[in-house]
Amino acid sequence: MKAFEYNTNPGRVVFGSGSIKKLPEEVKRLNKSKPLLLSTPQQAEQVKALEPILKNASITPAGLYSNATMHTPTHVTDEALVYANKCGADCVISFGGGSTTGLGKAISIRTGLEHISIPTTYAGSEMTPILGETAEGKKTTRSDPKILPGTVIYDVDFTMTLPESLSATSGVNAIAHAVEALYARNTNPIMNLLALEGTKALAESLPIIVNSPRDQDARSKAQYGAWLCAMCLGSVGMSLHHKLCHTLGGSFNMPHAETHTIVLPHAIAYNAPKIPETMKKLADVLPESDGDAIKGLNVLLTKLKVKRGLKDFGMKEEDVDKAAEIAVGNPYWNPRDIEKEPLRETIRRCWAGEEAKADL
């Protein structure tokens, strides 16, 4: 066996239907009493369900900040910090997907406030010590153990009304975390186990959710898979897939989960010649792959009925060249050298919504 290093990220997980009832216990465990609730505008009403749970345990929320936005713009974080200081919050509770979790992380790392995360999608940001922030049209990322939320409560009940389309894209977003972990420069056998188990759980459960969104067993399995996949992202490095997604999201304002969904099979196809072992492992956990991981991903995305082209979200064809220029600048480590022309064609295929194929 090859030598490797393994670092685990500290964090507490409370998993299961109804586990939200343990939220007051988790706040008190941290010796806190005035949590600031965070959400997006779309989930401002849903997050209010936490208030009676806290108040019944003699915990009064300091307030609710409901302007969380995708890609964590720094000006939104600045506004939230002013509000947190004004209301005297002593910890933050993020409720929602990656946008809200990202805001919770940004506040926590800037202030030192404890962060409890309650995910309602499968994006996985809650399990990573990584913060991606956008300022002046560019998204940058940094990693620090202090960014990781201290406690994560996975209550499947809050995912039951997640729309089928968002369930699909946030689930594939999670798979993307795992796939890159399989061939990361600092991968290791433990991460490989988590990545393959997480990918398998999501690939099996997401098609069921799309057709039967109230299937609690499938929802729970997807949440479990997303947790494992996110642990991978938080423990090893990122490569081409995430570089492209950060470029497209930060510079062209493409929606986060949808962009990951579109890019994933194309990024794998670009790297395929250099990662034959990874391709075999991935094919083994993707239904109907017939031994071909790219085919397995294409089949999965077809089953999930997701949009496949960046043009569907407003990206213009003339933006392809600009995206390629940005992506080749300061590239992340990648198993295949970043070559501008093949990369440009990869981005063009993502823009056009073509099926992925390993021919570049």
- Position 54 scores a pLDDT of 97
**Domain termination residue (choose one: 137, 159, 181):** 159
Query: Looking at the domain assignment, is residue 282 inside a domain?
Result: yes
pLDDT exceeds cutoff 90 at 106: yes
**Strands of 35-38's sheet in order across:** 12-15, 151-154, 114-119, 91-96, 35-38, 63-65
Residue 219 maps to which CATH number? 1.20.1090.10
Question: In this structure, are 316 and 274 located in the same domain?
Answer: yes
Question: In this structure, are 307 and 209 located in the same domain?
Answer: yes
Gap between the Cα atoms of 296 and 169, Å rounded: 16
Instruction: Tell me if 116 sits within 8 A of 35, measured CB to CB.
Output: yes
Query: Looking at the domain assignment, is residue 5 inside a domain?
Result: no
Q: Which residue type does 19 have? A: S
| pLDDT tens by residue, 27-42 | 999 999 999 999 999 9
Question: In this structure, are 209 and 87 located in the same domain?
Answer: no
**Domain termination residue (choose one: 109, 143, 159):** 159
Confidence class for position 152, pLDDT limits 50, 70, 90: very high
Q: What is the pTM of this model?
A: 0.90
Query: Looking at the domain assignment, is residue 337 inside a domain?
Result: yes
Query: Looking at the domain assignment, is residue 256 inside a domain?
Result: yes
- Position 36 scores a pLDDT of 98
- Position 247 scores a pLDDT of 92
Question: In this structure, are 130 and 204 located in the same domain?
Answer: no
Question: In this structure, are 298 and 280 located in the same domain?
Answer: yes
Question: In this structure, are 168 and 119 located in the same domain?
Answer: no
**Domain termination residue (choose one: 121, 139, 159):** 159
| pLDDT tens by residue, 217-273 | 999 999 999 999 999 987 888 899 999 998 998 889 999 899 999 999 999 999 999
Query: Looking at the domain assignment, is residue 280 inside a domain?
Result: yes
pLDDT exceeds cutoff 80 at 307: yes
Q: How many domains does the chain have?
A: 2
Q: What is the mean pLDDT of residues 317-334?
A: 92
Residue 85 maps to which CATH number? 3.40.50.1970
- Position 5 scores a pLDDT of 83
| pLDDT tens by residue, 51-83 | 999 999 999 999 999 999 988 999 999 999 999
Q: What is the mean pLDDT of residues 91-120?
A: 97
Question: In this structure, are 214 and 307 located in the same domain?
Answer: yes
Question: In this structure, are 113 and 221 located in the same domain?
Answer: no
Q: What is the mean pLDDT of residues 277-285?
A: 97
Give the range of the structural domain holding residue 295, as residue numbers without chain letter.
164-352
Query: Looking at the domain assignment, is residue 7 inside a domain?
Result: no
Q: What is the mean pLDDT of residues 96-107?
A: 96
Confidence class for position 7, pLDDT limits 50, 70, 90: confident
Q: What is the mean pLDDT of residues 297-319?
A: 97
> What is residue 265's three-state secondary structure?
helix
Question: In this structure, are 253 and 290 located in the same domain?
Answer: yes
- Position 141 scores a pLDDT of 85
Within its chain, how far is the Cα of 95 from the centroid? 14
Question: In this structure, are 154 and 173 located in the same domain?
Answer: no
Confidence class for position 10, pLDDT limits 50, 70, 90: confident
- Position 274 scores a pLDDT of 97
113/138: higher pLDDT:
113
Q: What is the mean pLDDT of residues 193-207?
A: 98
- Position 209 scores a pLDDT of 98
Question: In this structure, are 40 and 103 located in the same domain?
Answer: yes
Query: Looking at the domain assignment, is residue 258 inside a domain?
Result: yes
Query: Looking at the domain assignment, is residue 2 inside a domain?
Result: no
9/360: higher pLDDT:
360
Instruction: Tell me if 258 sits within 8 A of 285, measured CB to CB.
Output: no
Question: In this structure, are 340 and 216 located in the same domain?
Answer: yes
Phi-psi sector, 332: left (phi>0), alpha (psi -120 to 50), beta: beta
- Position 80 scores a pLDDT of 98
Gap between the Cα atoms of 142 and 157, Å rounded: 32
Q: What is the mean pLDDT of residues 151-166?
A: 96
- Position 1 scores a pLDDT of 77
CA distances from 16 to 36, 159, 216 (A): 24, 12, 11
